[in-house]
Amino acid sequence: MSESAAPFARPSALQAWWLAARPRTLPLAAAPVAVGSAVAFGAGGGRAGPAVAALAGALLLQIGANFANDVYDAEKGADTASRIGPPRATQLGWLSAVAVKRGMWLNFALAAIVGVYLIAAAGWVVLWVGLASIAAAIAYTGGPWPFGYHGLGDLMVFLFFGVVAVCGTTYVQTHAFELHALAASLPVGALATAVLVVNNLRDREGDARAGKRTLAVRFGARATQLEYRALVFGAYAALVLCVSLRGSLWLALPALTLPESIRLVRGLASAAEGPEFNALLAATARLGLVFSLLLAAGWLGAGT
């Protein structure tokens, strides 16, 4: 894989902040909220206020996490001039590390304000979920033992972009743990993790030099491709559980995206250059969003 980096023109300050926020990742934060809200409405307990607040909180947490990754990866040497992914504001000197950390904490503070409303709406369990989410966002690349550097990133993305996000969104509306929400979280988390897998496969050589021991670094390209395949096709297998629990074929609606999934799996098996991985990463994120929206529509279509 070639790791020669093309030069990037210096953006304005506003554009630099926009790039550091990584807007293409925001649908990954919105998708589980859509699914969790659909499950809540399907259970007869949907509430618009907590649903909107959950979406706002998820987006703020995602942007804060993106700022954290931007600055901590630069400080730890994982982002260098040879990176083949999208530009990183801290590493390129477009924003100072101090400024990005302030932006990170501002987003987490705003998320905490949203959390106050959700605590009032659903109880103190929301506090612990929110604190865990902020801690995970920072500890992914920051702190003394960043789990993204020790091969635990895949698990954490599955948990926080799948199980926690979907079940938490349902909980703040129904005030109950819903088994349906847990089932619906599995494919959402799997596809969110698949996005990270493409990212780690693309960056594995640079990550290895920086001491970032992702699963792609630990087990190599072939195993990472197999992980991607298992996650993508596992999302469709999880639909069987959703259909059986809900008793409605409406939950099979995301199967309409299966041809695109097959195309992406084949594409990753043959990808060799940075631009190919970048395109596959964006396409996998789109797949996760469309799949989740269809799953949400199916849950609503199944009725209460």
Domain spans of the chain, in order of start:
13-301
> What is the Cα Rg of the chain in Å?
19
Cα distances from 105 to residues 99, 108, 135, in angstroms, run 10, 5, 12
88 band by pLDDT with thresholds 50, 70 and 90: confident
Mean pLDDT of 245-260: 95
- The answer to whether residues 123 and 175 touch, using CB atoms and an 8 Å cutoff, is yes
- How much is the pLDDT for 2? 33
- How much is the pLDDT for 201? 94
Q: Tens digit of pLDDT for each residue in 1-52?
A: 333 344 577 888 899 999 999 888 898 899 999 999 999 999 888 899 999 9
- How much is the pLDDT for 79? 66
- How much is the pLDDT for 83? 66
Name the average pLDDT for the chain: 91
Instruction: Give Cβ neighbours of residue 108 (< 8 Å, ≥ 6 apart).
Output: 60, 61, 64, 134, 137
Res. 251: pLDDT tops 50: yes
Top CATH class of 13-301 equals mainly alpha
Q: Tens digit of pLDDT for each residue in 218-232?
A: 999 999 999 999 999
Helices and strands (H and E) in the chain: how many: 12, 0
Mean pLDDT of 108-115: 96
pTM exceeds cut of 0.75: yes
